[in-house]
């Protein structure tokens, strides 16, 4: 069974930093591209960041470019999101999401970790 | 980027009835549209990709259709476990974008 478990969320002041992690199991992480997607209060889902299977390619939403960094450790079955210069509008539940068979769909998601910037 | 508008925001349906959810795109694209279901405290679950292809394990009462700028998710004979939040997502253009969601609630 595929499992994605996020951790690292919490309360942080504006301008602060936080590092999210996603522990994966039930599949070979190195065979899948991965993403972070967030859900802000009162808003819809927003794709945040993408990383290819071998970490050679990363993409970011314009709203986080230059502040967030996605990374992965295939040997440790983990995905990370380093978030710097946090803003009020980054408050959201952050989900790690596995890329589906169709590129840029998301076929498995974690339960999310809450980040509150205040 | 492609903006997706879902309607209605909330849909009240009785168990056993049919629910029809709409997703309208700001520009036309092919079939690269997915639907997700989300329940409180859980991450979203992929229901449908490529407009009408059900994901593994998704019951046949869920069906998708549409093209261009108008897409529809239909849930036939609603079961208690179907009352949830539903999102559409396009992956035809970069970045991938989602609609604001439709909440299906018990009438």
Q: Which residues in chain A touch residue B46, judged by CB atoms under 8 angstroms apart? A: 100, 105-108
Supply the pLDDT for residue B6.
98
For the stretch A25-80, pLDDT in tens is 999 999 999 999 999 998 999 999 999 999 999 999 999 999 999 999 999 999 99
Residues of A engaging B, defined by a Cβ cutoff of 8 Å: 4, 43-47, 59, 61, 95, 97, 100-112
> B3 CB near a chain A CB, below 8 Å?
no
- Contact across the interface for A47 and B42, Cβ inside 8 Å: no
- Contact across the interface for A46 and B42, Cβ inside 8 Å: no
Supply the pLDDT for residue A19.
98
For B96, the closest of A4, A43, A47 (CB atoms) is A47
> B58 CB near a chain A CB, below 8 Å?
no
- Contact across the interface for B43 and A4, Cβ inside 8 Å: yes
Q: What is the CA radius of gyration of chain A?
A: 13
User: Which pairing describes strands A10-12 and A113-117: parallel, antiparallel, or unpaired?
Assistant: parallel
For residue A90, CA distances in Å to A40, A83, B48, B97 come to 8, 9, 29, 17
Q: Which is it for the CA torsion B51, B69, B6, B44, positive or negative?
A: positive
For the stretch B32-79, pLDDT in tens is 999 999 999 999 999 999 999 999 999 999 999 999 999 999 999 999
């Amino acid at each position: 069974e595929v499992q994605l478990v996020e951790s690292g969320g919490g309360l942080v002041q504006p301008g602060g930093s936080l590092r999210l992690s996603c522990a994966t199991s039930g599949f070979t992480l190195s065979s899948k591209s991965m993403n972070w997607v967030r859900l802000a209060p009162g808003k819809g889902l927003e794709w945040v960041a993408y990383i290819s299977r071998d970490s050679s390619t990363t993409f970011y939403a314009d709203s986080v470019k230059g502040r967030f960094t996605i990374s992965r450790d295939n040997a440790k079955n983990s995905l990370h999101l380093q978030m710097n210069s946090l803003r009020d509008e980054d408050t959201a539940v952050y989900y790690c999401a596995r890329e589906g068979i169709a590129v840029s769909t998301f076929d498995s998601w974690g339960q999310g970790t809450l980040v509150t910037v205040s | 980027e492609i903006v997706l508008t879902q309607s209605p925001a909330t849909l009240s349906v009785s168990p056993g009835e049919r629910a029809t959810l709409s997703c309208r795109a700001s520009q036309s694209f092919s079939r690269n549209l997915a639907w997700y279901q989300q329940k409180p405290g859980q991450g979203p679950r992929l229901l449908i990709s490529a407009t009408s292809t059900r994901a593994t394990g998704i019951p046949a009462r869920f069906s998708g259709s549409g093209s261009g700028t108008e897409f529809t998710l239909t849930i036939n004979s609603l079961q208690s476990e179907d009352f949830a939040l539903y999102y559409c997502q396009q992956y035809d253009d970069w970045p991938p974008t989602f609609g604001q969601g439709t909440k299906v609630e018990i009438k």
